[in-house]
Amino acid sequence: MKLARSIVIFATLPLVATLGGLLMIVFADETQWGYDGDQGPQRWSALAPEYLLCGEGKAQSPIDIRDAVDVDLVAIEFHYGETANKIFNNGHTIQVDVDPGSHIVYNGITYDLLQFHFHAPSEHTIDGEAAALEIHFVHKDRNSASLAVVGILLSEGDGENESYAAVFDHLPADVGDPAPLGEPIDLDTLLPEAQGYYTYQGSLTTPPCSEVVRWLLLDKPLELSTEQIAAFTAIYEANARPVQPLGERDLLRASP
């Protein structure tokens, strides 16, 4: 099935909700939440009034990727450069903040790259199967409150992924302030060569679960070594929200 490129619609939501959700990714909030027990995902909506969407939202993320409709969509234009980075453990994941300058252009909209972080196992699943890890590159629209998150599944391979070595060799085990990662990273090297993707309108996968995200999940996983995966899971063995119902939303896949 082919759809006109202009059919892809981007939701614009209130600025306060978007920035609040974004700050939740960047900083640990005073409200305690986690991934198990009384603070786990099934309880998020009861932990604070501003988290109600985690339980009542109709466009939540992540989702199980299945039965996507192949369409003729624009490519994601990556304009990533070499950048100094700061890495830290924010209490929920390992996050890397990047210097300004890198961005993507999607459907005519420019989104600036703010940071990337990891989840174990992958939050999105493919036909019910999770990968070892998932990386999220978080971008913000320059002219509105919308976000775009590029997700990549990370699976176990035979050897070290040298492009990710600077990150996985310096994972901070303790919660703390951002610290320089060392040498600048060429962010382009963190991406797979093939950049087909799935897309749908969704939410942040952490409280307050704001429904402000255009998800762009690349359909080709990258490989990390067993040791690289173990370095992360030794700190965060399970920091993935369970998949949420797709409901009436469109799930599209960019045709090769």
* Domains, the chain, ordered by start: 11-254 (3.10.200.10)
**Known catalytic residue at 92:** yes
Q: What pTM was estimated for this model as a whole?
A: 0.89
- Catalytic residue of the set 79, 92, 139, 170: 92
Which of 6-15, 112-121, 175-184, 243-252 has the least mean pLDDT? 6-15
Find the length of the chain.
256
User: pLDDT tens for residues 73-90?
Assistant: 999 999 999 998 999 999
Task: Round the average pLDDT of the chain to a whole number and report it.
Answer: 89
Inform me whether the pLDDT recorded for 3 exceeds 60: no
Inform me whether the pLDDT recorded for 2 exceeds 50: no
Which of 16-20, 40-44, 158-162, 200-204 has the least mean pLDDT? 16-20
Inform me whether the pLDDT recorded for 28 exceeds 50: no
